Amino acid sequence: MSERKPCPSDLSDARWALIEPTLTAWRNARLERRPTGQPAKVELRDVFNAILYINRTGIPWKYLPHDFPSHGTVYAYYAAWRDEGVFAQLNYDLTGLARVKEGRTPEPTASVIDTQSVKTSTNVPLTSQGTDAAKKIVGRKRGILTDTIGLIPAVTVAGAGLSENAMGIRLLNQAKATYPTLAKSWVDTGFKNTVIEHGAHLGTDVEVVNRNPEKRGFHVVKRRWVIERSIGWIMMRRRLARDYETLTTSS
């Protein structure tokens, strides 16, 4: 890492050690394909820290402080890692490590599904937006699938007008392809029989969890509290409090 004053969002040495082998292997494979064979001049750790800085603070790419690599360079790495599945692979690897640390198997067998509609910025194409009539939000809808400790093995983003059922089907397909062990999933009452039947087709028992009608106001709902907490974690990252991304794949 370059000599600069560290930011609160920077990776610790221990966290960097977990992801450095994957990023270094990716870079070496890219260098072998470069005509000049010249090594890159930017430090991978600085690039990753810059991405975390943007995610945590919510700033536009062009406002990245000058003591990080240039915003164009950082975005180029970000786009490559996004499109080549590096971020996804890191997520799967780290999820497995975190689960083992909690005394669980690396691959989850149970999950929770929910969606969140968020407003978008002015640069987001209208074709990728929609209207969530129930929540009166024009923007995009995020669907996430968490394991039972709140980690996110599957995510999808679409226009806010897409139904809960459609989002649920996408998430089950994505999660089941990565984790064939997935046998159980809990959802709220916004999901209907379509998701339950699709889950059964995939070999996953989908259960709708209802609120307790005898309790008024806020109360903890079985299993669903886990994913609500994960959504809260997401909203602590200012870049995700509103959807600023032109591409849903970036979101």
Full domain range(s) for residue 59: 13-84
45 assigned to some structural domain: yes
Q: What is the reported pLDDT for 26?
A: 94
250 assigned to some structural domain: no
Same domain, 201 and 120: yes
Q: What is the reported pLDDT for 2?
A: 62
Q: How far is CA 218 from CA 38, 150, 208, 226, in A?
A: 58, 20, 19, 15
- Asked if 153 contacts 96 with a C-beta cutoff of 8 angstroms, the reply is no
- Asked if 226 contacts 186 with a C-beta cutoff of 8 angstroms, the reply is no
Per-residue pLDDT of the chain in tens (251 residues, 90 and over written 9): 567 889 999 999 999 999 999 999 999 888 877 666 566 689 999 999 999 999 999 999 999 999 999 999 999 999 999 999 999 999 999 999 999 999 999 999 999 999 999 999 998 999 999 999 989 999 999 999 999 999 999 999 999 999 999 999 999 999 999 999 999 999 998 898 999 999 999 999 999 988 777 777 766 788 899 999 999 999 999 999 999 999 999 99
Same domain, 43 and 117: no
**Which pair of tokens denotes residue 46?**
């600085």
- The distance of Cα 34 from the centroid of its chain, to the nearest Å, equals 31
Same domain, 22 and 126: no
Domain count, the chain: 2
Query: How far is Cα 169 from Cα 90, in angstroms, rounded to an integer?
Result: 24
Same domain, 48 and 140: no
Q: What is the reported pLDDT for 35?
A: 63
58 assigned to some structural domain: yes
91 assigned to some structural domain: no
* Long-range contacts, stretch 162-170, CB < 8 angstroms, 24+ apart: 162/130, 164/115, 164/190, 164/191, 164/192, 164/195, 165/191, 165/192, 165/194, 165/195, 167/115, 167/141, 167/143, 168/113, 168/143, 168/194, 168/195, 168/198, 168/206, 169/194, 169/195, 169/198, 170/143
pTM assigned to the model: 0.90
Q: What is the reported pLDDT for 1?
A: 59
**Which pair of tokens denotes residue 152?**
């996110």
- Pick from 155, 154, 163: which is nearest to 130 by CA? 163
Report the CATH number that the domain containing residue 132 is assigned in CATH. 3.30.420.10
8 assigned to some structural domain: no
Q: What is the reported pLDDT for 216?
A: 74
- Asked if 35 contacts 83 with a C-beta cutoff of 8 angstroms, the reply is no
Same domain, 167 and 50: no
Same domain, 111 and 235: yes
Does residue 23 sit in helix, strand or coil? helix
